[in-house]
Every structure is written in structure tokens, then in C-alpha cells.
Structure 1
Amino acid sequence: MRARTTFTLAAMAVAILSASGCSRLGITGSRPPQNNDNFPTENRTQQGNEVVFDRERSTIWDLFSAGNDPNITVEVNKYIWAAALDVLDFMPIQAADPFSGVIVYGFGTPPGSNRAYRATVYVQDPALDARSLRVALATRSGPAPAETVRAVEDAILTRARQLRIRDGDL
């Protein structure tokens, strides 16, 4: 008897949830809900004498789909980003955009040196890879030597790998 009651209550709960889900999607009823922030956006078009409501439908499964267009959004590697901030912490940050992966530094003098540098760091890919990082380094008198740029890139990549190992992802 107890199992039958539990089954009946469960069946009723499923029926109520299904009905409420249908009304949320606009399947039941002749009038769509009022336009407020709790409901998807709707476009009204008139076809003859009747008004047709076209709404953006969303489901719980939309949370798991890749909704971002990879041609529009840019993803950056969080370890390279953090490593660039660590390695070049002697320079003042003038601008940073984590969505496009650009960090612009002002002039700063590294410890143990008397030459000031400025840098722009580009994190271009979500992979922890040398191709994901590009550094533009300059002194007050012009571009920095290629060896110095390479040394800074290597230092950033080494620190990024250390951060990833520390997080336990390897």
C-alpha cells in the first residue's frame, strides 16, 4: 500500500512539472506571457488577421552547448595570463583585456638592470603552447634585441607550466 501511494505521488509530481513546463514554453493557452525579464524575448509578426509570436526557446541543455562562436570570441590560457603578470610584475600595467588576451605594460626597470623596458603581451590561444604567446618588447631607444624577447617569452612559458603543475592538471 505504501509503495502504491509513493508511486501515485511521484506520478502526480511529474504530471504537474510537465504541465508547468508546457505553460512556460507557451504550448498551452492562447495568449503568450507578458514581456518581462522572466521570459524569453519574443518577436511579433502579423500574418493576415492573426498575430504570430516567435520566441527564442531555451532549454536546460543550452547550458551545455557551445554557444559562443569561435570566430567571434577569443579564449586565452589562464596560466600564460597569470605567468605574464608574475614575470613582468616590475612593469606598471597600462591596460589589460582578458577577453582578447592583451596586456600592455608601461616602462619598468627589471631588478639588477639599468635599462627600462615596456612590453605588450598577446595571449592568443587557450592552449599552453609557445604559439599561444607573443611578446613585443621595447626600450626607450627602440625595439629590444630578439634574444631578450625570447628570454622573456621563455620565462613566461616556464612560469605558466609551473602554475599548471601546481594546480595538478598534469
Structure 2
Amino acid sequence: MNSSPAIASRAKRAIGAMFFTVFGGAWIALWARFTLDAPLAAYALVALLTGGLLTYVYRVYTFNRPALLAEPASPADARRSRLFHLVNAGQWVLIVIVSNVLVNLGHPEWAIPAAMFVIGAHFIPLARLFSYAPHFVTAAALTVVALLSPALQAWSGAGPIGDLIAGLILWVSALYAVAWSRT
């Protein structure tokens, strides 16, 4: 059996994976909204898939939660938590500012890819903060998709295909965090 810190780490990754799951579902629902003729059926499917993945991730969390609760709180954990909240708050502030600037400059079509880029980029400091290298992969994948999103949409003719890819990236990241990652 894994050591208690490793099990606690798995519980922490599962918490992040829950967010990845929900936000991945939101990106896919956004794609469905602008792409599919039957968005209600697509929303139901996205909700079903999101719910299934969320259930799995939550089960991983509850299975490993006792080790997380047994860990003593440390000043390093408090600092990490503060920095995490600062990075996330900064991400949302930057998304709002960049989106407003783009809309006011007459380029509202760039707002979503710009938000995707900021979201991807925010994983870089989180990778360092949590010493979790897979966040670098998520960051790279999301930022590349954000940069290619307008070209992907034009090439595919399938609406904002970058939104679908971003959602799938987050779902794969969630699965990796709880099913395959050993760090």
C-alpha cells in the first residue's frame, strides 16, 4: 500500500480533478451550444458524461480522504493555499480585462481563445506551486489550442472546435490525476 503522504497527495489531486471535470464539461457544453443543431440533447450527454467522470473522481477522493485529513496542517500548506487563491483570482481578473479589451477593440471572437490561453497559462505557476509536472502538459496543450483555435475553427467548419478540445484536455488531465499519475 502507498504511504500516507502519497495517499493524501492522491486525495489532493482528486480535488483538482473535480474542478477539471466540471470546467471540462463547461467547455464542451460551450462547443455544443455553438455547433450542434440539438444542443439540449448534447447538453444532456455532456451532463451525463461530466456527472459520470465527477462521480468517479469523487469516489477516488473519498477513498483517499482519511489520509488527507490525518495530515497535520503546516505553514507551507497555508502559504501554498494563499498562493493558489492568488493565482486563480489573478486568472479571473485577467480574463475579464482581456475579454473586455478585445470586445471594445472590435474582436469579440478572440475573447474565448484569449480566456483559454490565460487558463492554460495559469497552470504554469500551479505546476511549480504543487510540484506537479503534469500541469505543465495541461498548460502547453491549452495554450497551443487557444493559439490555434481560430485556425482550427476555420479548417474544421465544426464551430469553436477549440472549446471541445479544451474540454477534452481537462477531462484527460482529470483522469490522469486520479487514475494514472503516481506523483
- The bucket for the TM-score relative to the shorter chain is under 0.3
| More strand as a share of residues | 1
State TM-score, norm by structure 1. 0.25
- Give the alignment's TM-score, normalised by structure 2: 0.23
Tell me which structure has the larger Cα radius of gyration: 1
